[in-house]
Amino acid sequence: MNAAYHRLKARFARIALLGESQAMLHWDAAAVMPPGGAAARGEQLAALSGLSHELLTAPQVAEDLAEATAEGEWEGANLALMRQTHRRATALPTALVEATARANAACEAVWRRARAQSDFALVAPALKEVVRLQRETAAALAGATGLSPYDALMEGYQRGIGASDVEPIFAAYEQFLQQALPQAEAIQASRPAPRPLTGPFPVPAQQALCRAMAERVGLDFDHARLDESTHPFCGGTPTDVRITTRYSADSAAQALFGVLHETGHALYERGLPPAFAHQPVGEAAGMAAHESQSLIIEMQACRSDAFLRFIGPQLQASFGGGAEAYDPANLAALWRRVERGFIRVDADELTYPAHVILRFRLERALIGGELEVEGIPAAWNEGFTHLLGLTPPDDARGCLQDIHWYDGAFGYFPSYTLGAMAAAQLMRAARGAEPGLDAALAKGDFTPLRDWLRKAVHGQGSRLGFQDLLRAATGKPLDPSDFTEHLRGRYLAA
């Protein structure tokens, strides 16, 4: 730990505080900003990005990195992450970073209208500019990191796993799904239809329930907010986490499971090691790791047989009606229902990976130059039909549904399915380590699961890459068979 390393820590703390400011401005834009603020917001974010980039690429940083020494596993990992961040940042000229921030903000604003009108042509010019800048970025990062252009983008979201790991995993899942999906559908069809929850589901009652359940999972509202936005997300900072959801008066479960999902993300942020706050090693380990935390709460814990026994009476207290519909077996039939559909965020956990596989293949082709923006709608519809046997009736239910590409996020989509797979693997390990885990969930007690995750995942910061984090927590790198076993148990057991 020499003077150069201390200078670097001070500098990276400043960069992190700029990043926190940007996170708050992003939350504001999504949750509360009036539409007329969008143009200036884009400029504000671009200015903060530009300054952050300059702090990171100043000549002093290269000098300090050359001199810096750090002792111990954590400080050593911190210094290694500084070097990696610096390598990636110095690959990108300031003008490119600022142009990207501006183009992304502009495209996102147009996308909101384009999706509402199901008009891909409206957003195509803005998206072309976003893609052009992403290709330029990918090429520059590839040069600096020695990775392929697409992997170089992926690394920006999740360190420690690449497209060559992902491709065979996804191909195998595609094969698994070709058999498993019709089989699950047949089993489901052979059973009596579940009783629907009939409502009404007044939004204020949903809000109260969502808040109470988020608290039960472990979110402390002295350090968090729950708001509404079109596209639910978890933002903010470790001591001020901002989660959002979307309420529909027609559904008891949609907003609730959205909140449980975002609460999983929020717990990760809240559990990051405070001793390394505002340092690279104190951040979350990446987007796939993050998604594993949202899905272990939403999918693994909160749709488990155990938790369904707890949540039924809670729902009945909120929305009334007869007890039959709130029976755990009925809730399982309602909420663990397989159904081919067009919308990723509405997909069940069996078909969800197909949505991701499609996007992974298209975005890889877009970055590689084998696909152009104009070709997206046709390629989307063809790929979707191939994977799930359905053709989207319009682009709003096809290639316009997700914000990601329109906001400049390429290389991010694989994280969802890597996260789902990691969640199954971590849940299996947690159950092994905490034999009382399911009994606790059945009482609405998340303590055993949360404590294990805090130690095995949250408290680790980004000391380890994706595969190493799983290895340390579960004894093996990503093993998709834990996920397919989980699915077999839940959907294919006759």
Q: Is residue 58 part of the contact set for its own copies (CB under 8 A)?
A: no
Q: Tell me 399's DSSP state.
A: T
Site string for its own copies, 258-297 (x = CB under 8 A): -------------------xx-------------------
- Residue from 4, 8, 18, 420 that binds its own copies (CB under 8 A)? 18
Between 96 and 277, name the residue whose CB sits nearer to its own copies. 277
Are 176 and 184 a contacting pair, CB within 8 Å? no
Q: Is residue 433 part of the contact set for its own copies (CB under 8 A)?
A: no
CA neighbor of 27 nearest in space, from 13, 6, 41, 47: 41
Amino acid occupying residue 238: P
Which residues in the 129-148 window bind its own copies by CB under 8 A?
none
CB of 239 to its own copies, least distance (A): 5
Q: Is residue 212 part of the contact set for its own copies (CB under 8 A)?
A: no
Query: Which span sits near its own copies by CB under 8 A: 233-241, 243-251, 398-406, 462-470?
Result: 233-241
List the structure tokens of 258. 């959205």
Q: Is residue 51 part of the contact set for its own copies (CB under 8 A)?
A: yes
Question: Which residue numbers are catalytic?
Answer: 262
Q: Is residue 80 part of the contact set for its own copies (CB under 8 A)?
A: no
- Residue from 116, 143, 221, 322 that binds its own copies (CB under 8 A)? 221
- Residue from 1, 2, 43, 58 that binds its own copies (CB under 8 A)? 43
CB of 34 to its own copies, least distance (A): 6
- Residue from 21, 183, 207, 314 that binds its own copies (CB under 8 A)? 21
Q: Is residue 39 part of the contact set for its own copies (CB under 8 A)?
A: yes
Between 14 and 361, name the residue whose CB sits nearer to its own copies. 14
Q: Is residue 20 part of the contact set for its own copies (CB under 8 A)?
A: yes
Measured in whole angstroms, the distance separating CA 363 from the mean position of its chain's CA atoms is 17
Between 13 and 332, name the residue whose CB sits nearer to its own copies. 13
Q: Is residue 202 part of the contact set for its own copies (CB under 8 A)?
A: no
Q: Is residue 237 part of the contact set for its own copies (CB under 8 A)?
A: yes
Q: Is residue 72 part of the contact set for its own copies (CB under 8 A)?
A: no
* Rounded-to-integer distance, Cα 377 and Cα 395, Å: 7
Beta-strand (E) ranges in 22-81?
Answer: none
Query: Which span sits near its own copies by CB under 8 A: 9-17, 65-73, 245-253, 260-268?
Result: 9-17
Between 274 and 393, name the residue whose CB sits nearer to its own copies. 274
Q: Is residue 225 part of the contact set for its own copies (CB under 8 A)?
A: yes
Residue 382 Cα distances to 123, 177, 233, angstroms:
21, 18, 29
CB of 419 to its own copies, least distance (A): 26
CB of 47 to its own copies, least distance (A): 4
How many residues line the site for its own copies (CB under 8 A)? 38
Between 194 and 238, name the residue whose CB sits nearer to its own copies. 238
DSSP states along 129-152: HHHHHHHHHHHHHHHHHSS-HHHH
CB of 454 to its own copies, least distance (A): 17
Q: What is the dihedral of CA 436, 438, 439, 441, to 10 degrees?
A: 120
- Residue from 1, 2, 6, 17 that binds its own copies (CB under 8 A)? 17
Are 367 and 134 a contacting pair, CB within 8 Å? yes
Between 51 and 99, name the residue whose CB sits nearer to its own copies. 51
Binding site for its own copies (CB under 8 A): 13-14, 17-18, 20-21, 24-25, 28, 32-37, 39-41, 43-44, 46-48, 50-51, 220-225, 236-240, 277-278
